[in-house]
Structures are given as C-alpha cells and as structure tokens.
Chains A and B, each alone.
Chain A
C-alpha cells in the first residue's frame, strides 16, 4: 500500500485530499462525515466579517424599523434573549469540531477591516483551529487603485495577522495577479506558511430578458484544474511555503496531478457537493490503486516531480495554451 501521508502548514496529514471551505463544514456532523470519508484535513467554511456586520446591521434595522411611532404597535417583534450574531457560533463550531474529529481543522476567514481580520483570526486560533486560511479577495473597480497598492494591502494584512497569531497561516489567492510569483514570495515574507491556489469567484451573468445582472455560482469541472496546476508547478521550489491546489479537483487523477505539480494538498468541494462526501473514499482508493499500479511508494515521492523545475521542458509552463495548441497542430501537418 502506497504511503499517502503529506505535510501541510507544518501539520502531518494522513493523505493530501482536503475538503475546502464549503457548506459541508457548516456542522459538526458534516465535518465528521468528511473525516469518516477519509479527508486528510478540513478547511472550515469561511467566516465572513462583512456578513457578520451585515447581519448585525440588518437585524438591528428590522427590529427598529417602525417602532416607537404608533401607540398600538411600539414594537413589531419580541425581543429575544440572544442572537447568534458575530463569530461565536463559528468559533463554537471549531471548538466542537476539534473535539469530534482527529484530522486537522483549518479555519477560514474573510475580513473587511484590519481590526476585523486580526480580531477574528485571534478568536479562531483561540477556538483551537490547527491553522488559518485567509480568504482574501478584492475586486478593484476604482481606476485610482494600482496593482501595487492592492498587493501591498495583501502583504500588510498577512503581516498584521501574523503578528497576532501563532498558528500556521495560509493565504488563498485569486489567479488575477500580474506577477504572481513576486506576490507569493512577498506574502511568504510577510509570514504566510502556505498559499492556496486559487479562489473561484461567483461570476455575474446577464439576463437579457429581464435586463438584470444575475449572480451565478457554478460548480467546477476537471478542466479548471489546469490553471492552478500551472501555477503550483511554477511556484513549487520558488517560494518557500506549502502549496494547496484547489479548483477543478474531481478525481484521483486530479489529486495525483496536483501532487506531481508540487502541491502539498489538493482541495475539493464541488465534487463533494455534487456527488457526495463518499467521493473522498473513492478518490483515495483510485489514487492508491494508480500509485500501486505505477509503483509509486509515497505521495512525497511524487510531490513536485512535474513542477516546472523538474520537468524536461520547463518552458511548457511559460507558453500560452493557444500557442502550444497551434504548434502541435502545425507539427501534425508536417507528417
């Protein structure tokens, strides 16, 4: 039996298949099911500071609205004793998850304010998370904001959080950076222990019947694996941190590719949401069978084996796909 163990953010994982942030980790039972299915670790669903703030303000707005205006209806709702507004229920979930499972539990945070990032990160650490994934994204719409400023904000954020928490930090990035390796190394310099490549965004659609913008979240497909695969392969060995590949991981083959490109772990959610948590078991079994059949001893053995630095033709990772496809077409024509 091949050795599937890997390490990620200084943690030893029994295998590299990690459940990424998704609704599956919203309950302890869900996290337990992920463990039972064989997940090497679980990244909790993201704690969104913006959502907490919004929920707080919305609750306040609707409980206040119209009150103390008309003598017969001075209020419209009973004043309940307690509302789970704020991070408490999330932190409680981490606490309970830590008691319920033995695999590492990685918190995930999306903040808005500097204070919020740091404060919530500390709380997640205090709740017992083994590591923390900073789910950072910002869609810049203001022409006055430069890429440099934006990147510096990311770096500062990691520094701020790093200064306050001791647990390992991973930063989940979007693919939309001009010079990703440079940013990656600066983030590592700021204290990141790992990078998670990449975040998948909800992309709005346009409804031309109603003339409305419609939010649209579609589950990933295996074909989307190639974008993070390229960047993992490029960054492997170039930046001194762990790498997690996420987006487009649907099969044992996908996980193997991630490992060979240089990832410490492969994260998946779409596949589990679509086909059930049991897919982890199948993926692990497929991996093991493949490794056995191709006589790989361990995951560690293959990690980075097809990174840019390890392959015969490193330039392949630097070419645009279109060019490569064109050339191969031309080559065929020569025969």
Chain B
C-alpha cells in the first residue's frame, strides 16, 4: 500500500505535481495566475525529476499561449502525453487548437487557474469568464473547489481523458485556489500508476502520426461530409460522463475521497437548492450544511463535470423536494438570456421534466445570479442572502450578490455579520509591507502548523496594486477540522500590524474580535507606544478589550543584520502569543523551517535568522492598556481634501482596501478614467530622500533625467517669483545660455519619492571639500518632510517651460520640460520608467500611447491611480492597453485614424477655404510641424479655425469642427516589454514595422517577462538564469534591432540611458522626427536581474562597455544624404562580459548552482558579443552613395 505524504502547498503546485508526473511534453507560457504551474514544471525538469514512467518530461516555453496550444496539438498528434497550463486571454488564444484537438478526439489535459477576461479592464484575479469562453470547443470541463480537489481532479482528468478520448480542461479558481495554501494529502506515485491504464497510453501512441503507419489527419472537408463528420463524435461525448464517474469511483476506492459529476450536500428534503461550481461551491455547501442543521430546507449541488453536461446526473443529484433552484455563475455574458451554467441548468431540468426523468413533478422556479467576478469575495453571508431570496414569492432573477448595484438594482442585500466559522477554528490576520517578508513567514507558519501539529491550516494572501512600498494582508486559519472557507477572514482573534506607519492610514482593529490580540511592530517601548497610536485604534483596543502587544522588530532586525526583513521576528511573536505550540517547540520548529527554507543559501543566512529568532522574545511586551483614549492623533484620509471629487470619493477608498464598498454607479461605464491621479496619493514610502546642494550642482539635469518616479525636478524661473517662496526654499543662479537672468532650483517631491537613490548615482558633481558628497545626497525623510512638502508645493506654482521655447536637444534643456508621467508605483529604481518619463516630457502633450500588457501597463494603468498626467494646459498623453499580443497593431490603428481623419480634415478645410480665408487655410495646410514651436503655432491656428467655424453654416463646418484637432501633429508611441516585442507580439510588431507607417515603438527591454516574475523571453541573454530557463539560457538573445534594420526603412536605435543619456535623448528625438516606423530598444535594468537597483545605471554602463549592449542608431534618412545609416554610438568593448554579468544574480546564481555550465555558457556569451560587434562594425563601415560617408 502506498504511503501518502501530508503536505501544505498551494493549488498551482498541487496541480502541477500531478500534471508533470503524467506528461512527457509540456508546453508553457507565463500568464497569471497559472505561471507557477509552468515554473514548477521547468524547475522539476531542470532537476531531472522523472515522470511516472521514469523519464524527465520535456518542458518547452513557447512564444504565446497560441504557440503553446499548437505545440501541444503537434505533440499529441505524434503520440506524447502532453499538457499545458494557462488562464484568461491565454486560454482564448488556445481556442483554435482546442477545437482541433477535440475534433480529432485527442486525449490531453489543459489545467486552467480560471481568471477574468480583459473587458472594460484587465484583471488578473479569479472568475470563470475564461473557461466559460471555451465551453463550446468540445473539451470536457472538470471543476475543482479546493486545493485538495484540484490535486485529485488533475489525476482524474489525466486518467479519464485517455479512456474518453475527449481532451479535458481542468479548472480551479485563480488565486482563491491556485494561490491558497492548504494542508492536503499528496497522491503517491502508486496512486498515479493505479489510475493510468497502460493499454490506453498504448492506444494513444497507436493513433500517433508516424511514417511507419502513415495516415492523413486534418483534412479539408466539403459540404457533402463535413456535417456528418462533425456528428461522428457523439458516442464519445455520450460515454464521457459515465467514464468520468467511473474514474472518480476508482479514485474513491483508492483514496477514500469520493467525487461525483454533481455532488449534493444539505438537507435531504431541501426545497431551495443552489447550483454552483468552483471554490464558491465549497462556501455554498458549508453554508447550506450550517443552515440545514438549523432546520432550513436548503442544499447545494456542486458541479464537477461541466462539459459534457450530463442532465441525467444533474437531475439525479437534485432532491425530489426541490422547489426553487438558484444557479450561480462566476462570469458575465452581457446581453445573454442568462449566464452559461444557469442556461444549462434550465435546459437540463426542463428537458428532464419533459422526458419524465426529473425527480420532481413540477418545474422548480429557477433563478440565476452572478457572484465573485475578479475574485470578489463570496462569503457565507452572501450564500445566505441567495437562500433567503429564494424564499420570496418573486425572487430576483439575474441578480448579483457581493456588490451594491445601485444602477440596475440587481444586487441582493446581505448581512456581513453572518458567519458560520467553527469556534474551534483560529483566524489570524497580518498586515505587512511587501519587502518585510511577512507573507513568506506566514507561509512557513502554515507549513509548521499543518505539518507539525494535528491542526488543519489554510493561508491566503492579498497584495496591493503597486510594486514598491506595497501592503500585504495574510489570512491564516487553523483548527482541528479541515478548513473549508475559501473567503477572506473578516473577524480575527489575532491581528498583527507589521509596519507602524500603517496605523495612520489603515483600519486594522476593525478586524479584531472582542478579547482578541493586537500585535504592533513599533519602535516605541511598551510604556510609550500607547500615546503614538491614533485615537481610533486606542478606542477599538479599549472597547474590544484587546490584548495589546508590541515588539520592536526593527531593533532586533538591526542587531542581527536582518535589515528590513522582520519576517522570522514577527513569526516568533505570533507563535509566542498565539500558543499554537509550546514556545520552545515553536522556536525549534521555526528554526527547522528556517534551515529548510534558507539552508541551501548558506549557513550565514540561517545563523542570522536564528539570531533574530533568539533575540525576539526579549523585545516582545504586552502593553498595559489605559482605560481612556488619550491620543490626539487621528487616522489620516487616504487622499487629501484638495483632490478632485472623483479621486477623493472613488479612488480614495480603493487606496485603503475599501473599494469593495463602492457601488456600481461610482464606476465609469466604459473603463475610462482621468489621468494625473498618482499625484494625490502621497505614499511616503521612502526612509531617505535626496537633498540638493546648489553650491555643488552643475545644473546638468542628469538626476532629473534618471529619476524613475519623476520626483526630482528642475525649473528655471524669473527671480521675482521667489518673493513668495517658503523660507527654506533653495535657489541659485541659473546656468542656461538661452535663459539669462533666471534662477534655478532642483526640488524633490518628498512624499512621492521611493528613495531609490538613482539620482545620487547619476550626479556627476562632487563636493570639492568632501568627495563623498555630491550635488544630490540622500538624507532622512521624516525630519524634512514638512518643510520639503511646502517647498514642493511652492515649486509647483513656478511655471513650466513651454515645449519648443528652448531647444530640447541637450539633457540639461530637455529636463526643464515637465514630466507627464509621475509618481508611478513601479519598483523603486525601475529601469523602464525613466524612458517613459522622457517620452512624456518631449512629446507628451501630443502623444497617444498603445501599451502592451506587462509591467508598464500595470504601473501605468493599474487602479487606483495612474502616473500619466496632464500639463497646465490640460494636455498630456492619452493612454490605452488593449492586450498583450496585439499592441503593435493596436497602435497602428491609432496611426491609421490620425492619418485618415487628418486627411479628411484637410479635405474639409480645402473645401471651406473660401469661407475661412486663404491665410488661415494655407497656414493650416502647409504648417511646418517639425518643431515643437511649429506644433504650438498649428495648435493656435486650429483654435482660430474652431472659432471661425462657429460662424459658418455649411454642414461641412460642423464636421471639420469634430476633426480639426487632427490637423495638429500627433505621435503614436507603441510601448511594451520584451515579452511582447520579441515573443508574443513579434508577428504584429514585424507587420507594423513593415507597414512603413509613422509609428514609434519603444521596447522596454528587461530581458525577461518582468511583470509575471521573470520568465525567459527570446530577449533573455545567453548564460542568464530565468524562470523557464532554470539551467541558464542556452541560446543567445534575439537581435531584434538587426531584424528591423533589414527592412532598410525602419529607424532603429539601441539605447541605455545609464551609459549615454545624450544618445538616448537623440534617439527619441530622431525616432519621433522620422516619418516612418521607428523602433527603440531600451536597456532597462530590472529587479529581475538581481542587482542593487541603485547601481542600475552603473550596470548599464558595464553592459555597453562589455559590448553586450552596443549603442547604435540606424537612421534610414541618412541614406538620402549618401551616408551609412548605421552609427555605432559605443566604443569597442573595454571590459569582459563576465565583469558585467557576474554583478547580477541572474548570471551569478548559475555559477553558484553549476559552475561548469556557467563557464561554458559564459564562453559562448563572450563569443556572441565578439561576433555581433564585428558584424556591426562591418555594417557601419559600408560606404553608401557615390564615395559616401565613411562613418
């Protein structure tokens, strides 16, 4: 008999564990929340972990989910057991192949962590929009409710598909199940073997394409037989439900866990029954059992096999007493008769009744409702609301639950206080800062509780929408019974605040139950902490009689060299206070867990954590709670009162995790939001910010240029304006030739700075008396926050320089232009955002941006706020994100409109020239808009035109008024990362370059899929480790620039701001000026490189100096001048590639893991650099024209 391990893992790992072991070929592509399944597979493959048959599965990353589906199809056709993992848009890209795979009756499994689809907005979170969009493909669809079920159903799917010959889509809820950590029983190798019939595997192989037994598959059929051919599969679909049930029964015999196509739970004589699938079914089932135990006649049918939809099995699951059925769908189909599961249930019940096969005589009343879109909470209170609604004589149909729909009034009211939590279950919440390791520590705590005690345990983690200074909320449950509660904790007996500053903006004590524990990490001791709490917190502590603890985790961390990571310290406090385990045992287990988690990273790491644990308890104190509220401090609002109403009332609640309370009416109907909203956040996340020393400053503008967050700015202004300056406002005589007699200031936005210090690194000016100081130096933020806030406010009143009023051809001058991209939530020190900021400065007020999905679309467009901003005239970049794969085409669409409507405007203008007069018409038609000044003049002419058109009655005048703005030059910037440009969007990118249209493509090249956590792309350089390339990438980086240059009419530049800011500036100006397609490939240092982000610019220099990132510009316009279009802007390599590479963890970790392979790949990488450099030099030396340039 097999021994099964008890493990505490998340849904993705639970599924990947099975899929990997039952596959031979695995085609992968990253997409949240399924990426981890591919990552596990790649890591296991790199570690040579064999599958069930003793061979290591081949794991291949493709260029898109469409590509993965194609590869899966091919691998299946040639006889391999094949799988893939995906979600959301990725699943949609697989649809064409899914029809083929199903049409050809091919056993396969696709595992999907179900996720929302991009509609009015993208969302990475969980619902059934994606899987419901493929229900018509012919795939069988198997749904799981929990981590254990996902693990089990994965096996059932792989087993059943072989017999049914129908491919399976196994799905579970994105994040709620894919990322929930649960204690489960892991299936053994023997279990897997027992469920897979070798003769069915052989049968699959026997159907494979092979020249040994050649067949033709994938024919084109004509009207005479296609229809019949489509009907041939019917017996297979008819047989499938029984096969699945048989497989489930076999599984039950093996493991004791019994599943059915439709599982019923609740009162045997239920009159009100909910039909639902996914994690929500678990909540519904638990609630129904709770209510039934209290006499309510309610029950729940959980759908496991959704396709083929077996009416027979559904009817068998429904009690004969059923009077009302409410079908809950976790998706929305606007304009439909109802959501898919609802329609299926109605059809099934009606058919069953008509055929006399229903358990009841009369047609039950059937209502449908939507819940849980994009991981919206679905709680027992909501389930109860649905059951209560079903009691009514006229229950709502097509209702929603979990939101407040104050527009069409579809929503059901519910009582949030209703709870079914077992008193024996302990619920705990932890508020942490992303960087402090809280989530990791809690994951370890769950493992300890799950694996070292008899308790069951569950963990779920909520993250915010930023990438720096983020808040994390950990929800931990444990207790003697299995935790079947896939929803957030609302009332906890243990609430911990790991960052003291959260107290002033987040209401955490509201989650604490009376008599519960509130633990705060504070620099204040047990006797002083009370007076530093906001009044609201004091009041809650007193009224709820909370046991209040404090620990100075920062001090412990500092003493033990833990830096900002207080994870193990806070974990020790949790165990010490909660008493889950005796203290000594808890500390021993924590240490075991530290050893297990960090041991392979070296003894020093382990010892440091051990010391932190040992030192913690001496710093943990229970605070004697006074009887009275004494504080004069109050929690501050998320957004200041001066913010616009929409920002304050709609975006504000989102910032403090209260967006769930916003009603439907508060949300824009079409996904359109105002820009310029990040300025209202004032996140105050930097401990240190830059301070300016005017005496040392040379006014070069480099600090302003490199600031990823646009928090450091320079202005030149009339000295008279200083009259109203605050006392501490710094100013010096401006050194700008074009602006004599002016004053100059560099000012920092103190509350928006992330403290990355890139500005300090970029500053070339050093203090002559103390070489360690520069013109910009980091200083502590809190002491100067107030003064600098006043300075910043005054600074903002100083006028910005008008674009075009000073040549922007030098960094110094260009950095006087106002950034229209500011205060993004990107990682501190981000290497991408300085380029976007530059773009916004140079062309922002006449630019439309098409942004591929990725980091830039997240820090650019993830709610609540956006860094894209407007200037004083109200103009600024207009921005949109369509998808990941289509961005180049999306941007081309912009261009087509601009060109067409510009043409139409000129036609109308010509037609109205008599009424408008020749001067205005000619001026508009022949405007030179090659300079910003020319654009400004044209804008003035258009304003005059609009004025003039008001007085003209000709209907063409109204039309021209609508399109007059198209007469002003506009730039299209198509922005995205390397995952888009090199991989998934490459086909479109290539076509758009080939189109010859005047678009500018900016590739923010981090050399990995940064946003999804660093998966390899074709841009990933040789020898670097990335996810999906855990052994180090074996092949060189694709030379996208070279491919684009091959067209001969595409402007191409390869830039690295840290190596040459002037070349970067020049490339942007030239690309925008070039009347054709332009491609800029920008080196973007990234957290995924494993570098000190402060040294990002230095790494860029090394990349260029080592030749791994040559700088060049290829300007086709030069050919007309008889010159070689390729200008190499960097010098011959002066440092070895290794000198650059081994500063980065992505390269270095391979040396640490496999030195021989690292050396081999580094040798090849060196050779790549040499060969490419030689080639470029030869290309740049070619003579063009008659005895043309030798450049």
Specify the main secondary structure of chain B where it touches its partner: mixed
Most buried by B among A73, A74, A79, A81: A73
- Name the contact of B467 in the complex, choosing from A58, A63, A70 (C-beta under 8 A): A70
Query: Which residues of the partner chain B approach A59 to less than 8 Å between Cβ atoms?
Result: 601-602, 605, 1145, 1148-1149, 1152
CB–CB B1025/A77 < 8 A: yes
What string of 1s and 0s marks CB contacts (under 8 Å) between B1014-1026 and chain A? 1000000000011
What string of 1s and 0s marks CB contacts (under 8 Å) between A77-104 and chain B? 1111111111001000000000000000
CB-CB under 8 A for A78 and B1027, given A72-B858, A85-B601, A89-B1155:
yes
CB-CB under 8 A for A69 and B463, given A59-B1152, A84-B1155:
yes
Kindly state the separation between the CA atoms of A98 and B467 in the bound complex, as whole angstroms.
Answer: 51
B421 within 8 A of A: no
Q: How large is the interface on B (under 10, 10 to 19, 20 to 34, 35 or more residues)?
A: 35 or more
Query: Which residues of the partner chain A approach B771 to less than 8 Å between Cβ atoms?
Result: 211-212
B598 within 8 A of A: yes
Which B residues, 115 to 151, have Cβ-Cβ distances below 8 Å to chain A? 124-125
Q: Considering the complex, give the chain B residue whose CB is closest to the CB of A54.
A: B604
A114 within 8 A of B: no
Kindly state the separation between the CA atoms of A320 and B293 in the bound complex, as whole angstroms.
Answer: 101
Query: Which residues of the partner chain B approach A62 to less than 8 Å between Cβ atoms?
Result: 1090-1091, 1145
CB–CB A68/B1152 < 8 A: no
CB–CB B1149/A77 < 8 A: yes
Kindly state the separation between the CA atoms of A94 and B301 in the bound complex, as whole angstroms.
Answer: 67
Query: Which residues of the partner chain B approach A84 to less than 8 Å between Cβ atoms?
Result: 1152-1153, 1155
- Name the contact of A211 in the complex, choosing from B766, B1014, B1087 (C-beta under 8 A): B766
CB-CB under 8 A for A82 and B1153, given A59-B1145, A63-B1145:
yes
Kindly state the separation between the CA atoms of A112 and B929 in the bound complex, as whole angstroms.
Answer: 67
Kindly state the separation between the CA atoms of A280 and B142 in the bound complex, as whole angstroms.
Answer: 73
CB–CB B1153/A69 < 8 A: no
- Name the contact of A68 in the complex, choosing from B36, B439, B1025 (C-beta under 8 A): B439
CB–CB A77/B1145 < 8 A: yes
Most buried by B among A52, A53, A59, A86: A59
- Name the contact of B1011 in the complex, choosing from A64, A72, A212 (C-beta under 8 A): A72
Expressed in whole angstroms, the minimum distance between the Cβ of B664 and any Cβ of chain A is 24
- Name the contact of A69 in the complex, choosing from B470, B598, B1025 (C-beta under 8 A): B470
A75 within 8 A of B: yes
Q: Considering the complex, give the chain A residue whose CB is closest to the CB of B1159.
A: A27
Which B residues, 18 to 60, have Cβ-Cβ distances below 8 Å to chain A? 32-33, 36, 39, 42-43, 46-47
CB-CB under 8 A for A65 and B435, given A59-B601, A81-B1153:
yes
Kindly state the separation between the CA atoms of A57 and B604 in the bound complex, as whole angstroms.
Answer: 7
CB–CB B601/A66 < 8 A: no
Query: Which residues of the partner chain A approach B1149 to less than 8 Å between Cβ atoms?
Result: 59, 63, 77, 80, 83
CB–CB B437/A64 < 8 A: yes
CB-CB under 8 A for A77 and B600, given A70-B466, A72-B858:
no
Kindly state the separation between the CA atoms of A70 and B175 in the bound complex, as whole angstroms.
Answer: 12
A137 within 8 A of B: no
Specify the main secondary structure of chain A where it touches its partner: loop
CB–CB A78/B1030 < 8 A: yes
CB–CB A72/B605 < 8 A: no
Kindly state the separation between the CA atoms of A57 and B124 in the bound complex, as whole angstroms.
Answer: 33
CB–CB B1153/A71 < 8 A: no
A313 within 8 A of B: no
CB–CB A86/B467 < 8 A: no
Expressed in whole angstroms, the minimum distance between the Cβ of A299 and any Cβ of chain B is 38
CB–CB A73/B1025 < 8 A: no
A149 within 8 A of B: no
Query: Which residues of the partner chain A approach B461 to less than 8 Å between Cβ atoms?
Result: 68
CB–CB A56/B605 < 8 A: yes
- Name the contact of A77 in the complex, choosing from B435, B1027, B1155 (C-beta under 8 A): B1027
What string of 1s and 0s marks CB contacts (under 8 Å) between B1059-1071 and chain A? 0000000000000
B472 within 8 A of A: yes
CB–CB B604/A73 < 8 A: no
CB-CB under 8 A for A73 and B1010, given A53-B604, A66-B827, A83-B1153:
yes
What string of 1s and 0s marks CB contacts (under 8 Å) between B153-188 and chain A? 000000000000000000000010001000000000
Expressed in whole angstroms, the minimum distance between the Cβ of A248 and any Cβ of chain B is 28
Query: Which residues of the partner chain B approach A177 to less than 8 Å between Cβ atoms?
Result: none
Kindly state the separation between the CA atoms of A65 and B32 in the bound complex, as whole angstroms.
Answer: 20
Kindly state the separation between the CA atoms of A55 and B33 in the bound complex, as whole angstroms.
Answer: 32
Q: Considering the complex, give the chain B residue whose CB is closest to the CB of A68.
A: B439
Query: Which residues of the partner chain B approach A76 to less than 8 Å between Cβ atoms?
Result: 1013-1014, 1087-1088, 1090
Kindly state the separation between the CA atoms of A77 and B42 in the bound complex, as whole angstroms.
Answer: 12
CB–CB A60/B1011 < 8 A: no
CB-CB under 8 A for A68 and B1014, given A59-B1152, A60-B598, A78-B1030:
no
CB–CB B601/A63 < 8 A: yes
Most buried by A among B440, B601, B1090, B1153: B601
Kindly state the separation between the CA atoms of A64 and B43 in the bound complex, as whole angstroms.
Answer: 18
Kindly state the separation between the CA atoms of A67 and B179 in the bound complex, as whole angstroms.
Answer: 14
- Name the contact of B565 in the complex, choosing from A64, A66, A83 (C-beta under 8 A): A64
B895 within 8 A of A: no
CB-CB under 8 A for A85 and B608, given A70-B463, A72-B124:
no
Kindly state the separation between the CA atoms of A65 and B463 in the bound complex, as whole angstroms.
Answer: 16
Query: Which residues of the partner chain A approach B732 to less than 8 Å between Cβ atoms?
Result: none
Query: Which residues of the partner chain B approach A64 to less than 8 Å between Cβ atoms?
Result: 437, 440, 565
Kindly state the separation between the CA atoms of A74 and B440 in the bound complex, as whole angstroms.
Answer: 10
B434 within 8 A of A: yes
What string of 1s and 0s marks CB contacts (under 8 Å) between B1148-1168 and chain A? 110011010000000000000
CB-CB under 8 A for A67 and B440, given A76-B1013, A78-B39, A83-B1152:
yes
CB–CB B32/A72 < 8 A: yes
CB–CB B602/A56 < 8 A: yes
CB–CB A60/B1155 < 8 A: no
Query: Which residues of the partner chain B approach A81 to less than 8 Å between Cβ atoms?
Result: 43, 46-47, 600, 1153
Which B residues, 430 to 453, have Cβ-Cβ distances below 8 Å to chain A? 434-435, 437-440
Query: Which residues of the partner chain B approach A75 to less than 8 Å between Cβ atoms?
Result: 1013-1014
CB-CB under 8 A for A77 and B601, given A70-B466, A71-B175:
no
Kindly state the separation between the CA atoms of A84 and B179 in the bound complex, as whole angstroms.
Answer: 31
CB–CB B1090/A77 < 8 A: yes
Query: Which residues of the partner chain A approach B766 to less than 8 Å between Cβ atoms?
Result: 211
Query: Which residues of the partner chain A approach B32 to less than 8 Å between Cβ atoms?
Result: 71-72
Query: Which residues of the partner chain A approach B563 to less than 8 Å between Cβ atoms?
Result: 61
Q: Considering the complex, give the chain A residue whose CB is closest to the CB of B606.
A: A56
B1146 within 8 A of A: yes
B1138 within 8 A of A: no
CB–CB B602/A55 < 8 A: yes
CB–CB B1152/A85 < 8 A: yes
Which A residues, 125 to 156, have Cβ-Cβ distances below 8 Å to chain B? none
CB-CB under 8 A for A68 and B472, given A80-B1149, A81-B47:
yes
Q: Considering the complex, give the chain B residue whose CB is closest to the CB of A89.
A: B1155
The 23 sampled A-B contact pairs (Cβ below 8 Å) are A56-B601, A56-B602, A56-B603, A56-B604, A59-B605, A62-B1091, A65-B435, A66-B827, A68-B463, A70-B467, A71-B124, A71-B125, A71-B179, A73-B1012, A73-B1013, A75-B1014, A76-B1090, A77-B1026, A77-B1088, A78-B39, A81-B1153, A84-B1152, A211-B771
Residues of B within 8 A of A (CB): 32-33, 36, 39, 42-43, 46-47, 124-125, 175, 179, 434-435, 437-440, 461, 463-464, 466-467, 470, 472, 561, 563, 565, 598, 600-605, 608, 766, 771, 827, 858, 1010-1014, 1025-1027, 1030, 1087-1088, 1090-1091, 1145-1146, 1148-1149, 1152-1153, 1155
- In the complex, besides A56-B602, A71-B124, 20 extra interface pairs with C-beta distance below 8 angstroms are A55-B602, A59-B601, A59-B605, A59-B1152, A65-B1090, A68-B437, A68-B438, A69-B439, A70-B463, A71-B33, A75-B1014, A76-B1088, A77-B1026, A77-B1027, A78-B39, A83-B1152, A84-B1152, A84-B1153, A211-B766, A211-B771
For the complex of A and B, the 8 pairs showing the least CB-CB separation, nearest first, are A69-B434, A56-B602, A73-B1013, A85-B602, A68-B439, A62-B1090, A62-B1145, A56-B604
